[in-house]
Amino acid sequence: MFHNNLTKRLQQFLRLNVIEDRVNEYLVILTQPRTKSLIQIEQEDFLKLTAIVYKDAKQRQLFRQLYKTFQESKAAPYGLKTHTPEYERLLEERVNTIRDSIKPGILKKIHEHYRKYYYIQFMWIGKEGVHSFDHYLKELVKLIGRGVNPGQELMRVQQEFKTQISKRSKLMLRLKIRGAWRQVFDAWGDFMITKIYRRYAQIYAIYRMQPVLREITKRLKITLKEARLMLKGEIKDGLLKNKVNHQALRQRTKQAVYYYEKGAEVIFTGTKAKTLIKKAEKQIHHEVHELHGQVGSIGKAIGYVKLIFRPKDMVKMNKGDILVSIATDPDIVPAMKKAAAIVTEQGGVTSHAAIVSREMNIPCVIGTKIATRVLKDGDKVEVDANKGIVKKTINNYRMP
C-alpha cells in the first residue's frame, strides 16, 4: 500500500542520519501532524463545555450531587461498572431529573455540542445507533462527578500538543531536514489528519443513508440486512426493473465472501464461501510469545491484555490495561483513553490507532497481524513501542 511504501522510504532516509535504534522513534516525531485531528478537537470542545458548567458553583454542585447519589444508590449496591449497558442506561435516565435545573445557556451549549458530534458512534451498520442529547449530559455528569477539573485537563491536553510540535521542530533543525524532504514529512502529517476527516465523513454518510436503505427495503420487499449486502448494480436493477434475486440475498445473510479487483466484483456464498474462508484463515501458533509490528506512537508499558472490538467490550477495560484490537475506530476511544498501551493487528502509521495514541501520548504498536489470535484477556505483556515489539510475560496471567 501507498503508506507502507512511503514509510519504508522515510525510514531509509533516516538511516542515513541516525542510528538504527532511533529510526522508528524519530519517524513518529517527524510525522507528527501540525494540526489537531477531529478526535482531539471533539475532546477539547467537550472539555470547554465541561469548564462552563464547572465555573458555575451551583451548576457544578448540581452535577456532582446527581453523580454522588447515583453511585451510592445504584452503582455501588448493585456492582454496576461504567460502560456496562445497565450502568449507562440507568445514569442516562437519571440525568433527565436535573434538566429543568440546568441554566438555559448551558443547555444551549450542550445541544450545540450534541448537534455537532451526535453521529460519531454510528459505525458501519449502525448497531450502536447515534448519541442522544442525554448521552452528552450524562458524560458531563460523570466528568464533573469524578472531580476532574476540566480547565486544568484542557491545559494539559493543549500543552501536550504544543510539546509534540516543539519536539518535531527541534528534531527537524538538528537533522537538518529541509526542502523536498521537509515537505514530504509535512505532507505525511497532513495525510494522517485527512484520514480521520475521511473516517468521520464515512460515518456521517452511512448514517444519512439509513432512510434511503429503509425505502429500498420497502420497495424491494427485502430486509435491511439484505439491502446492505446488495451490489450497487443489483439495487439499480431492483428499483428500475423490479429484478431481485431473493434466494441469493438470503444466502448472503448467512455467510458471504466479497471480492473486488480492478473494477470486477463477485460475491461467494454457501460452500464456496466456506472453502474460501477456510483457505484464507492462516494457522496461528498460539505458543507465540513475541509479536512484531510497526511503531504507531513511542513509549513502553507493561499491563494486562483486554481484547476490545466494539463498544460493548469496553466494560472490561481498566486504567492501565493493554488494549488489543484488530483495528480501532472512534466508537472505542473511551477505552483507548484508559490504555497503558495499544496494540492492533492492522493499520499503518496513518491509522486511527496511531493518530489517537499520538494525541493521547500512549505507546502503540500497529500491524502485528495476529495479536488478537495469540493474546487473550488477562495475559500480561510488555509493550516496547520504540521498537514495535510486544512480549508475552510467561506464567503471568490475571483473570479478566
| pLDDT at residue 63 in the model | 98
How far is 57 from 103, CA to CA, in rounded Å? 12
Q: Is the pLDDT of residue 2 over 60?
A: no
What are the pLDDT digits (tens) for 226-235? 999 999 999 9
| pLDDT at residue 400 in the model | 60
What are the pLDDT digits (tens) for 190-204? 988 998 999 999 999
Higher pLDDT, 356 or 83: 356
| pLDDT at residue 396 in the model | 61
Query: Domains along the chain?
Result: 19-205 (no CATH), 209-280 (no CATH), 290-397 (3.50.30.10)
| pLDDT at residue 284 in the model | 61
Higher pLDDT, 388 or 287: 388
What are the pLDDT digits (tens) for 301-357? 999 999 999 888 998 999 999 999 999 988 899 999 999 999 999 988 888 999 999
Say what the pTM is: 0.85
pLDDT exceeding 70 applies to what percent of the chain?
Answer: 96
Higher pLDDT, 69 or 261: 69
